[in-house]
Amino acid sequence: MLVIGQRDKISFELADRPQGGLLQVEIWCAGLHITYFDNNAHVPSFRHSMKHELELLKTEPLKNKQPFLRLGPTTDDASCSVKVKGSAAHIEIQLANGKTGSRIIPLEYLLSTYAKVIAQLEGTASA
């Protein structure tokens, strides 16, 4: 597994290669395991969702809470939001299993983590 990020902030742990058209992806945010129920992602769809979310984070002023980590069926068991204040991303999480959490992380760290994951997914075989 390739680990990008830190579990207590935001982390994507990617399997070395897809199996059966799906890539194992473990997502952690604020110390919570976001993909505790479904950790298999269809790479093209997952990559597209990540690119879309990254562009929103980079171009739109997210002064109000916006949906976050909406990356397809893999993250359906998580209800997350993000609000940007200056150079900080305020993240709130509620999982279907009842666990909740929040974390403030540097916006640049969030953007950089997303960009690194997208770059890795671009090079994933059969993506």
Q: Give tens-digit pLDDT for 33-86.
A: 999 999 999 999 999 999 999 998 887 666 678 899 999 999 999 999 999 888
Helix 107-122 and helix 43-59, axial crossing angle in degrees, nearest 10: 150
The DSSP H or E segment spanning 23 is strand 22-29
User: What pLDDT digit, counting tens, does each position of 10-46 carry?
Assistant: 999 999 999 988 999 999 999 999 999 999 999 999 9
* Separation of alpha carbons 57 and 111, rounded Å: 7
- Specify the residue for token string 């671009």: 122
Domains of the chain (ranges plus CATH)?
2-122 (2.30.31)
CA separation, residue 40 to residues 45, 49, 76, 90, 106 (Å): 12, 14, 12, 27, 28
What's this model's pTM, rounded to 2 decimal places?
Answer: 0.92
* Separation of alpha carbons 108 and 113, rounded Å: 8
Pairing of strands 100-106, 10-14: unpaired
